[in-house]
Amino acid sequence: MTYKIYPLDLGTFEAMETSNLLYQVNPGVKVRQPILAWLILGGEEPILVDTGGSDEEWAKQYHHGLQRSSEQTIEAQLQKHGVHPDEINIVINTHLHWDHCFQNNKFKNAHFYVQKKELMAAVVPLPTQKGYYETEIAGVIPSWMETFDRMKVVDGDSKLREGIELVHLPGHTVGLQGVLVETKNGPYLIASDTIGVYENWEGNDKLAHIPQGIHWSLEDYFRTFEKMEKLGAKVLPAHDMRVLEHEYYE
């Protein structure tokens, strides 16, 4: 079985701090960053990876503000590929930061694959990550909790379908998982926030690979880079505008 991977354009952070994405690189310099999800087609049924962030109002109130047009709703993005949210039975949540799982509740027939460590961490996050998980905001039930009853908890690396594997990549968060997808031209790794932009993977003159400024464990992060090297896959980043220059990846 081989697949095609379609990036879904779910809005933009207009001015994101570079050093959030690339640890200690260019502090104070702001960049545009897309909010992405991924649709995997070619198998028996469509598979969605992540569900994107909130609407503009919510983002402004509780997070970093974002911009989202009517073409950038998840419904509109899926419709471009002839897929209705009700047809999605499988969603992979790479991790439970709000900009990756906020719209889980739009998929009423789906089960949500998430790592055990991620779910545990989302309940009691590190102090630096509470906001990203929407934990401990007065009066707010975190978005990922709304679909808690339909979560499928995975513990470590696991094969989801022929040609689709969930790969535990701790670092940015403790239970982040990437998705390794077989395509006509070899494997791709949907690396989620492990690789925010291509430079995280390509490195610079000091580091072969650069962690995100937002991280749970640097030690885990560097071990994850070693694991990724062994996979030998092409890497797809989570917040790089250049991803949208291609309609699909294979």
List of residues contacting Zn ion (CB under 5 A) = 97, 193
Nearer to Zn ion, 3 or 201 (CB): 201
Q: Which is nearer to Zn ion, 33 or 72 (CB)?
A: 33
Min dist CB 231 to Zn ion, Å, is 20
Q: What is the Cα–Cα distance from 173 to 158, expressed in whole angstroms?
A: 18
CB of 99 to Zn ion, least distance (A): 7
The whole-angstrom distance between residue 94's C-alpha and the CA centroid of its chain comes to 5
Instruction: Find the shortest distance in angstroms from Cβ 37 to Zn ion.
Output: 13
Cα–Cα separations (whole angstroms), residue 104 to 32, 33, 51, 53, 96: 24, 21, 6, 10, 10
Cα 220 from chain centroid (whole Å): 18
Smallest gap from Cβ 205 to Zn ion, in A, equals 26
Name the residue nearer to Zn ion (CB basis): 183 or 212: 212
Residue whose C-beta lies closest to Zn ion: 97
CA–CA gap between residue 47 and residue 206 (Å, rounded): 38
Is the CB of 104 or the CB of 183 nearer to Zn ion?
Answer: 104
- Cβ neighbours, 10 Å, residue 39: 22
